[in-house]
Amino acid sequence: MWLMRTRVLKDLDDRSLPTALDVGCGPGLVMDLFSSMLAVKGLDIDADMVQRVKEKGKDAVLGDAEDLPFDDDSFDIAYCSFTLLWVKDPDNVIKEMARVARRFVICLAEPDYGGRICHPKEIAELDGALIDSLIAEGADPFIGRKLAHMMYDAGLEVGSGVHSGIWSPEQLKEEADAEWNSLARAVEGRVGIDALNRSRSAWDRSLRDGSLFLFNPVFYAIGRKH
């Protein structure tokens, strides 16, 4: 929201709602956030996701980010979040977004697991297995660091950065179970049971004494067309 308001919308004509394409919109959570400031169309390769967006009364089409079914300069903005991580050829997706956007291409949020910080160290010992599991699923766990360069390559003027995104101790307590479950599921079969148990004990202990710390950098990049 902050990014869109302060870095993008101030530069667009405000007489009417700017138009935007949400590439890899999923169930439309980001579309919901922007619905008061943008006229957004969603696009996703998964028909269920498109259906879920439509059921909310919003506009979405089935399509592939690698070959966007729109003419050049169809939207003021083309944006995505947590999509480039999953596509086969992210460079091509950025180029496609730059083709259909008149003014801005925005990667709102893409993670980089290579910059992950977990404390205590027994939890960090699972990082390698987590990265391997993402690669096995077809993701690029290091996409965050590549955003600015990919945009530059697509001929865009780029501004980029990292979201601070550090959970407060209260948030960590609330999210801890879900976070552990998803981490344990991802590394299952990739680390030995001893390492997993060691990590679980360290997790529980540090959650109790408040020293648990988890940070996974999430990058953004804003590309402006010349």
Ligand X SMILES: C[S@@+](CC[C@H](N)C(=O)[O-])C[C@H]1O[C@@H](n2cnc3c(N)ncnc32)[C@H](O)[C@@H]1O
Binding-site ranges for ligand X (CB under 6 A): 24-26, 29-30, 44-46, 49, 64-66, 81-83, 86-87
Residue 103 Cβ vs ligand X, minimum distance, rounded to whole Å: 20
- 223 near 105, Cβ under 8 Å? yes
Residue nearer to ligand X on the CB measure, 96 or 122: 96
- 30 near 57, Cβ under 8 Å? no
Residue nearer to ligand X on the CB measure, 9 or 21: 21
| Nearest residue to 38 (alpha-carbon basis) of 13, 18, 14 | 18
- 104 near 8, Cβ under 8 Å? yes
Residue 182 Cβ vs ligand X, minimum distance, rounded to whole Å: 13
Residue nearer to ligand X on the CB measure, 78 or 123: 78
3-state secondary structure of 88: coil
Element (H, E) at 2: helix 2-3
Q: 10 Å Cβ neighbour count for 120?
A: 17
Residue 58 Cβ vs ligand X, minimum distance, rounded to whole Å: 13
What does the alpha-carbon distance between residue 21 and residue 31 come to, in Å, rounded to a whole number? 9
What does the alpha-carbon distance between residue 93 and residue 74 come to, in Å, rounded to a whole number? 16
- 106 near 224, Cβ under 8 Å? no
Residue with the closest Cβ to ligand X?
Answer: 26
Please compute Rg for the chain using Cα positions: 19
Residue nearer to ligand X on the CB measure, 78 or 202: 78
Residue nearer to ligand X on the CB measure, 45 or 195: 45
- Residue 193 — φ and ψ, nearest 5°? -65, -30
Residue 62 Cβ vs ligand X, minimum distance, rounded to whole Å: 9
Residue nearer to ligand X on the CB measure, 60 or 123: 60
Residue nearer to ligand X on the CB measure, 47 or 193: 47
Residue 167 Cβ vs ligand X, minimum distance, rounded to whole Å: 18
Residue 49 Cβ vs ligand X, minimum distance, rounded to whole Å: 5
Residue 91 Cβ vs ligand X, minimum distance, rounded to whole Å: 13
- 80 near 23, Cβ under 8 Å? yes
